C-alpha cells in the first residue's frame, strides 16, 4: 500500500519542488495551497490529490483533514509561510499578528488537525519547516525571526509530548532561491512610505538590493533543499533536526564562536545600521 504525505504551501518554492520528488520516490502526495488554481499544472495521477488549504482558516483546515480521512497518511510537511520584513520601530501590530497567524498558529492548527490521521500509521512523522533564523536573528526581519523561533520551540515541545508515537523533525534551511525571496516587497505594504524621511529609507533600499544580490550568489536551489527534506521523509529513523545549506551551518557556528558585541557589530555593518 502506498504511503501518503500532505504538504502545505505547494504553489511555489520548496513545497512545489517536493511534490514531484515524493511522487518519484513512490509516495502519494496531497498537494495543498491557499489558492488551489496555482496547482493545476501538476501532472495528474492516482498518487496525487490537490486540495485547497488556507492554514489561517480553521474551516479550510478541517475540510482538508476530512478529505484525507480515507488515506494512509504517514507524513505531514508544514511548509507554508511567508516573511514579513521591515524595522520593528515601523511595524504595525496587525502585521506582526498576520505573520504569526500563518507561520506559527497556522502551522499549529494544521498539525493538530492531521495528528489523529498520522497516529493511525506506524512510523508516521511531522516535518516542521523553520529556518536558520529560528536559531539566530538578523536586522529588518524581526517578525519572521520571531515566528521561526516560535516554530522551533513548538517543534521541540511537540517532540517531547508525542515523539514516541509520531516523529517530529525540525527542518532548518538557510537562504533558498525561490519566489519567496523575489517577492519580499509584497509583505512591505506601505512600509516604504512610513520609512520616507527617516533613517530607515536608505537602509531599506540597501536591504532589498543586498538581498537580491545575495539571493543569486549564495542561496540554495529549492530542488536541492527539497531533496534534503525527502531524505528525512523516507528515513527509517528520522532525524530530530535537518540543517540545510552551508549558510545555515556556518552562520550558526560563527554566532556561537564570536563575542556577542562582535557579532552584533558585523550585522549592523552588513545592514547599514551604523
Alpha carbon 151 to its chain's center: 9
SS3 state of residue 177 = strand
Name the active-site residue from 82, 144, 207, 271: 144
| Residue 28: HSE in the Cβ half-sphere, 13 Å Cα cutoff | 17
**Cβ within 8 Å of residue 109, ≥6 positions away:** 55, 58, 61
Of 170, 168, 173, nearest to 151 by C-alpha is 170
Cell of 102: 500563518
List, in sequence order, every residue forming a beta bridge with 126; answer none if it has no partner. Answer: 76, 168
What is the C-alpha radius of gyration for the chain, rounded to an integer number of angstroms? 19
Phi–psi pair at 140, nearest 5 degrees: 65, 10
What DSSP line would sit under 156-174, residue for residue?
Answer: HHHHHHHTTTSEEEEEEE-
Active-site residue flag, 82: no
How far apart are the C-alpha atoms of 238 and 247, rounded to whole Å?
23
**Count of CB atoms situated within 10 Å of the CB of 249:** 14
Closest CA to 168 of 176, 179, 156, 185: 156
Instruction: Please list the active-site residues.
Output: 144
Amino acid at each position: 500500500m502506498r504511503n501518503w504525505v500532505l504538504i502545505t504551501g505547494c504553489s511555489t518554492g520548496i513545497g512545489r519542488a517536493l511534490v514531484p520528488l515524493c511522487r518519484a520516490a513512490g509516495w502519494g502526495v496531497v498537494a495543498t495551497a491557499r489558492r488551489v488554481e496555482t496547482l493545476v499544472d501538476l501532472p495528474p495521477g492516482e498518487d496525487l490529490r490537490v486540495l485547497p488549504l488556507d492554514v489561517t482558516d480553521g474551516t479550510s483546515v478541517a475540510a482538508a483533514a476530512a478529505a484525507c480521512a480515507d488515506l494512509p497518511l504517514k507524513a505531514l510537511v508544514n511548509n507554508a509561510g511567508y516573511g514579513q520584513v521591515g524595522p520593528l520601530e515601523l511595524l504595525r501590530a496587525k502585521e506582526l499578528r498576520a505573520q504569526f497567524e500563518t507561520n506559527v498558529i497556522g502551522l499549529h492548527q494544521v498539525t493538530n488537525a492531521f495528528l489523529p490521521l498520522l497516529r493511525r500509521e506506524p512510523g508516521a512523522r511531522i516535518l516542521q519547516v523553520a529556518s536558520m533564523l529560528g536559531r539566530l536573528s538578523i536586522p529588518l526581519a524581526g517578525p519572521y525571526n520571531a515566528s521561526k523561533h516560535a516554530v522551533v520551540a513548538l517543534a521541540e515541545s511537540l517532540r517531547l509530548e508525542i515523539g514516541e508515537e509520531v516523529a517530529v523533525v525540525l527542518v532548518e534551511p538557510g537562504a533558498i532561491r525561490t519566489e519567496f525571496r523575489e517577492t519580499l516587497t509584497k509583505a512591505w505594504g506601505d512600509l516604504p512610505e512610513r520609512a520616507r524621511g527617516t533613517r530607515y529609507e536608505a537602509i531599506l533600499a540597501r536591504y532589498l538590493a543586498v538581498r537580491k544580490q545575495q539571493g543569486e550568489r549564495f542561496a540554495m536551489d529549492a530542488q536541492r533543499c527539497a531533496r534534503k527534506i525527502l531524505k528525512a521523509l523516507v528515513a527509517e529513523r528520522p532525524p530530530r533536526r535537518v540543517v540545510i545549506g552551508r549558510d545555515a551551518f556556518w552562520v550558526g557556528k560563527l554566532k556561537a564562536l564570536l563575542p556577542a558585541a562582535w557579532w552584533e557589530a558585523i550585522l549592523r555593518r552588513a545592514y547599514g545600521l551604523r
